[in-house]
C-alpha cells in the first residue's frame, strides 16, 4: 500500500510500526452544529483508508476519533470564542445538551454513509486530566509561559516547527498565519495550551493554572498519546489542519517524546460548492439531511465522494449529485448483467487492488467496478453469505445496495448450518434451518454456500 504522506510530501510504502496493528488517529468533529458534507467527506476518506488497509488482510486496526466538545475557538489560532459555548448560549441550552445533540447527528450521518464507527470515540471533556498532565510536563521542560489569559506553548523552543506545514501545504482555505494578532503571545507561532476562564464561561475545569478550558490542539495530543502511545502510524484530518492544528499537535507532542508523533500524516482536500467556499453565512453549508430531503440516498453522496480522489478539491453541485445518482444506479444494473469467467474476475480484482493501493485511487477502482460481476450479490433484497458479502464490500467500498441487514445471530446460525451440511449432518442442519425460520429468515442453498432472505410475515 502506497500512501501520500504530507510530512515527506511523497507517496511512501506503508506498513505499521509494530508489523501487526495499524494505529490511526483522526481529528474528530467539533460538535456545535450539524456536520456539513465537507466534514463528512473527511470521514468517508478515513473510512476508505481503514477498510483498504484491513482488506490487505495482513494487519489489525486500532482507530481513535476524538469529539471536540470544548476548546475550539471561532478561529483556529486562539481568536474569538468557544464554538460550543456560543451555540449553547444561542440555543439557550447547556454545552452538554449541545454537544450531545450534535454528536448524535454525527453518529447518525456517518452510519448512514456506511462509515464504520471507530474503536475508540473520545469526547475531549473526558480527558481533561490527561491534557493537564501533558501541559504540566511541557511546563517542567520549559516549553511554556504564562499570560493573563492562559498558558502558552513557546514554538521557538521546538526545532523544526515548520516541518509539516512548509509553504506548499498551505491550502487557499487555510487561515493565513500572518493575520494572527499577537496579544500577549511572544511569537506568532505560539499557541494556547490552557485558557483561563472568564467568570461568565459555561464550561470550566479546575487546573494548576486556575479554572479554565484546554486549548483545542492539546486535546488531540493527549488523547492520541493516551490510546496510541508516543509514536503511531497514521494521523488524519482535512487540509485546513495542516498549518495550525496539526503543526501545533506535533510540536507539543514531540517536544515531550522526542519521537515522531505519527509516521504518516494524511489530509483530505475540501469540498467546495459551485467552486466557492462552503460556509454557513452563504447558506451553502449543506448537510446530509439537505441531500436526503431532496430525495437522494446517502449512498449517492458516498459514491460522489469516491469519484474524486481524496487529495483533489471536490466541487459539489446538485447537478453533480444528480449524475452520481444516475451513474450509481446504472452501475448496479450493469454489474448485474456482466458475466465473467474466473480468470477475468481475478484480473479485475488485481486491477482494483492496484488502484486502491496507489494512494486510494477510488475513481480508478470505480472504473474497474463497472466491468465487475457481482450479480449474484445484488440480485436479492437480503444480504448473502458472509464470504460473498465481504466480496461485495471489497468491490463496492460500503456502497450498500441493500436496505435490509441480516442480524449477526442469523448469519452465525447459517454459518453453523453450513458446517453441519459439509459434515453431512443433515439432521442438525435441518434443525438450524427451522431455528432460522423462527427468527423470520429463510436460508437457501447455493453453489457458493447459502443466501438468506427475510420472510414476508
- Residue 292 CB neighbour total at 10 angstroms: 15
271 binds ligand AMP (CB under 6 A): yes
CB of 235 to Zn ion, least distance (A): 8
Q: How many CA atoms lie within 13 A of 57 on its CB side?
A: 4
Q: Which residue is nearest to ligand AMP (CB)?
A: 238
Q: How many residues bind Zn ion (CB under 5 A)?
A: 2
Q: Which range of residues in 12-20, 220-228, 286-294, 360-368 is near Zn ion by CB under 5 A?
A: 220-228
Give the cell for residue 107: 453518529
132 binds ligand AMP (CB under 6 A): no
- Supply angle C-alpha 84, 176, 73, rounded to 5: 10
Comparison of 27 and 131: residue with beta carbon closer to Zn ion: 27
**What does 23 bind: Zn ion, ligand AMP, none (CB cut-off 5 to 8 Å by kind)?**
none
Comparison of 62 and 270: residue with beta carbon closer to ligand AMP: 270
Comparison of 304 and 382: residue with beta carbon closer to ligand AMP: 304
- Of 87, 105, 107, 106, the residue nearest 96 (C-alpha): 87
278 binds ligand AMP (CB under 6 A): yes
Give the cell for residue 330: 446504472
Q: Which range of residues in 26-34, 50-58, 98-106, 350-358 is near Zn ion by CB under 5 A?
A: 26-34
Task: Report the distance separating Cα 301 and Cα 283, nearest Å.
Answer: 19
**What does 220 bind: Zn ion, ligand AMP, none (CB cut-off 5 to 8 Å by kind)?**
Zn ion
Task: Report the distance separating Cα 211 and Cα 80, nearest Å.
Answer: 19
237 binds ligand AMP (CB under 6 A): yes
220 binds Zn ion (CB under 5 A): yes
Q: How many residues bind ligand AMP (CB under 6 A)?
A: 16
- Cα–Cα distances (Å) from 68 to 24, 212, 427, in that order, read 17, 16, 55
Task: Give the alpha-carbon dihedral of 275, 276, 282, 288, to 10 degrees.
Answer: 50
71 binds ligand AMP (CB under 6 A): no
261 binds Zn ion (CB under 5 A): no
Backbone angles phi, psi at 408, to 5 degrees: -60, -35
Q: Restricting to residues 374-393, which ones interact with Zn ion according to CB under 5 A?
A: none
Q: Which range of residues in 11-19, 130-138, 214-222, 299-307 is near Zn ion by CB under 5 A?
A: 214-222
CB of 445 to ligand AMP, least distance (A): 46
Backbone angles phi, psi at 24, to 5 degrees: -125, 135
CB of 121 to Zn ion, least distance (A): 14
Comparison of 101 and 371: residue with beta carbon closer to ligand AMP: 101
DSSP string across 294-315: TT--HHHHHHHHHHS-TTS-EE
CB of 73 to ligand AMP, least distance (A): 12
Q: Restricting to residues 241-270, which ones interact with ligand AMP according to CB under 6 A?
A: 241, 268, 270
Q: Which range of residues in 27-35, 92-100, 223-231, 278-286 is near Zn ion by CB under 5 A?
A: 27-35
29 binds ligand AMP (CB under 6 A): yes
- Cα–Cα distances (Å) from 71 to 30, 33, 77, 128, 257, in that order, read 9, 15, 11, 11, 24
**What does 39 bind: ligand AMP, Zn ion, none (CB cut-off 5 to 8 Å by kind)?**
ligand AMP
266 binds Zn ion (CB under 5 A): no
Task: Report the distance separating Cα 364 and Cα 360, nearest Å.
Answer: 9
- Of 28, 29, 34, the residue nearest 102 (C-alpha): 34
Exposed/middle/buried for residue 361 (C-beta within 10 Å: 0-12, 13-18, 19+): middle
310 binds ligand AMP (CB under 6 A): no
3-class secondary structure, 72: coil
Query: Which residues lie near ligand AMP (CB under 6 A)?
Result: 27, 29-30, 38-39, 41-42, 68, 237-238, 240-241, 268, 270-271, 278
Name the site residues for Zn ion (rule: CB under 5 A). 27, 220
Amino acid at each position: 500500500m502506497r500512501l501520500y504522506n504530507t510530512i515527506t510530501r511523497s507517496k511512501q510504502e506503508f506498513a505499521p510500526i509494530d508489523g501487526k496493528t495499524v494505529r490511526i488517529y483522526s481529528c474528530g468533529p467539533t460538535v456545535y452544529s450539524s456536520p456539513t458534507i465537507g466534514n463528512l467527506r473527511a470521514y468517508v476518506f478515513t473510512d476508505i483508508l481503514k477498510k483498504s488497509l484491513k482488506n490487505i488482510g495482513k494487519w489489525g486496526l486500532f482507530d481513535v476519533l476524538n469529539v471536540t466538545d470544548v476548546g475550539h475557538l471561532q478561529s483556529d489560532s486562539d481568536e474569538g470564542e468557544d464554538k460550543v459555548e456560543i451555540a449553547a448560549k444561542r440555543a439557550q441550552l447547556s454545552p452538554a445538551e449541545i454537544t450531545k445533540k450534535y454528536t448524535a447527528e454525527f453518529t447518525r450521518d456517518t452510519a448512514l454513509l456506511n462509515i464504520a464507527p471507530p474503536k475508540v470515540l473520545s469526547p475531549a471533556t473526558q480527558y481533561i486530566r490527561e491534557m493537564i498532565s501533558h501541559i504540566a510536563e511541557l511546563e517542567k521542560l520549559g516549553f511554556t509561559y504564562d499570560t493573563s489569559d492562559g498558558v502558552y506553548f513557546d514554538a521557538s523552543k521546538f526545532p523544526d516547527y515548520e516541518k509539516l506545514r512548509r509553504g506548499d501545504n498551505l491550502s487557499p482555505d487555510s487561515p493565513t498565519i500572518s493575520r494572527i494578532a499577537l496579544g500577549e503571545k511572544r511569537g506568532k507561532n505560539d499557541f494556547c495550551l490552557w485558557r483561563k476562564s472568564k467568570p461568565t464561561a459555561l464550561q470550566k475545569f479546575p487546573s494548576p493554572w486556575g479554572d479554565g478550558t484546554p486549548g483545542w490542539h492539546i486535546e488531540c495530543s493527549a488523547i492520541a498519546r493516551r490510546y496510541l502511545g508516543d509514536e503511531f502510524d497514521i494521523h488524519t484530518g482535512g487540509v485546513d489542519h495542516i498549518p495550525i492544528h496539526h503543526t501545533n499537535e506535533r510540536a507539543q507532542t514531540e517536544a515531550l517524546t522526542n519521537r515522531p508523533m505519527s509516521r504518516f500524516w494524511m489530509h483530505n482536500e475540501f469540498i467546495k460548492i459551485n467552486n466557492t467556499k462552503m460556509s454557513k453565512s452563504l447558506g451553502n453549508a449543506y448537510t446530509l439531511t439537505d441531500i436526503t430531503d431532496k430525495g437522494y440516498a446517502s449512498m449517492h453522496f458516498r459514491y460522489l465522494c469516491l469519484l474524486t480522489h481524496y487529495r483533489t478539491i471536490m466541487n459539489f453541485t446538485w447537478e453533480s449529485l444528480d449524475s452520481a445518482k444516475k451513474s450509481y444506479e446504472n452501475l448496479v444494473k450493469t454489474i448485474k448483467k456482466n458475466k465473467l469467467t474466473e480468470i477475468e474476475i481475478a484480473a479485475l480484482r488485481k486491477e482494483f487492488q492496484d488502484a486502491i493501493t496507489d494512494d486510494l485511487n477510488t475513481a480508478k477502482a470505480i472504473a474497474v467496478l463497472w466491468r465487475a460481476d457481482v450479480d449474484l450479490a445484488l440480485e436479492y433484497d437480503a444480504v448473502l453469505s458472509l464470504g460473498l458479502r465481504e466480496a461485495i464490500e471489497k468491490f463496492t467500498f460500503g456502497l450498500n445496495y441493500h436496505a435490509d441487514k441480516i442480524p449477526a445471530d442469523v448469519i452465525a446460525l447459517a454459518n453453523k448450518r453450513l458446517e453441519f451440511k459439509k459434515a453431512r449432518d443433515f439432521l442438525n442442519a435441518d434443525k438450524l434451518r427451522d431455528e432460522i425460520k423462527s427468527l423470520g429468515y429463510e436460508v437457501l442453498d447455493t453453489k457458493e454456500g447459502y443466501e438468506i432472505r427475510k420472510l414476508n410475515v
